[in-house]
Structure 1
Amino acid sequence: MSEIPSAPARSVLVTGGNRGIGLAIARAFEANGDKVAITYRSGEVPEGLLGVKADVTDAASIDAAFTEVEAAHGPVEVLIANAGVTRDTLLMRMSEDDFTSVIDTNLTGAFRVIKRASKGMIKMRKGRVVLISSVVGLYGSPGQINYAASKAGLVGIARSLTRELGSRGITANVVAPGFINTDMTAELPEATQKSYLASIPANRFAEPEEVANVVRWVASNEAAYISGAVIPVDGGLGMGH
């Protein structure tokens, strides 16, 4: 029985890829043999990855980052829009800046990087766009109107992008994680963690690698006929949403 030939290495860019879920995603593609670059705003660049400083709220910064990645790895074939922020507070305490700053990073930031990446993808007539949303974007969460709105908006982007560029061999999908084992989760009070666990049918938090493996798969040739989909990785928390 003949072996399946390995796919050629692709140019992959993960925004916000130097920690947490973003880093796990970057490592999954690195293990796949791809050429992986990450954007970051602060901190260190993990070993083995090409790090480019970029601010997704600044189009010029994004353009410069893409130019650097293209020079090193070629046109970006796989874009993972992962960069995001939170400014949680209840509606009556939420300032307009609390709302617009989260939208500008999480939603408009995704628009900026997708627009820049699409130039090369259209020319190549191939590409994979994966947007990292959240169960909160479809399920809702008190104190997160800004974050939920930004993450829900990614679904509209992916589906509109699918209709615009689907005929060019480009797919756009959304992965929506639930509660993940990260440093942030570990710092929550024990009572809060127990409350969250009680709402998850799987009765545990996910590991970052479990999200990363789904992202890697939906960006693979095996998932070439999937586009405009929302794939939850939430242990059943958001069923039907």
Structure 2
Amino acid sequence: MQDRTLSSQSIRAFTRALQSFLEGPCTPTALGHWQKHLLSEGLSEYGVYVRQIKKLEPALWRNVRESLSQGQVESKLWLYQVLRDVLPPGSYSLHVGGGWTGTTALLGLWLLPDLIYECTSFDIDPSCEHVARSLNEPYSWNGKFRAETRDLKNFQFAPHQPQILLNTVCEHQSDFQSWYAQVPKGQFMVLQNNDFFDGRDHVNCVKNLREFEEQAPLSTVLFAGELSLFDYKRFMLVGVR
């Protein structure tokens, strides 16, 4: 596959169609037909992604579907649009904590191929590594993607380097304050949290952006904002620790 920049509009349309597809009586055969159609339309990135889903055990399709929910996708499209706006030209290594199915890392490769030369998606749940590696297998072949089983607490920081750390699961971290305290000065990072206190395993939500800024003070703030998503708000901080 060629390294071309996909648009947010195109990704939004594809992921919504795919989520609807996986919610119905989906079969590997049906996925195969859609894969061929996408490839015939010149949408190789989407066709290959559908092919990789087809290779997974159907019992795992639910995780893929949930990772493509409208709220999940919109918050990531927002994230990468902000990075496009604030990052100076360069070549960056992207590290996604709480990477789940590897979707966040993949969207980075689709949206910012001129800025991101490699991605690592890691999660504390061992089952995520298999799914993330399978879905992103074509990018593993050329060294652009890597999946690992690792806790955010064990991340190898590289302050003052062209390394971007994404933590979009702050609401899931009961030990967020102690984790954040160990982040070295100079680390470039993107943090997301929300006010969805009723969410499953949401143990560290915040009421508003100001509370999030107080929870995670940055020495250099490149962006601080919020995104309304249905019945909750997503908060994001981008900058240097």
Give TM class, smaller chain.
0.3 to 0.5
TM-score normalised according to structure 2 size: 0.41
Q: Counting strand residues as a fraction of each chain, which structure ranks higher?
A: 2
TM-score normalised according to structure 1 size: 0.41
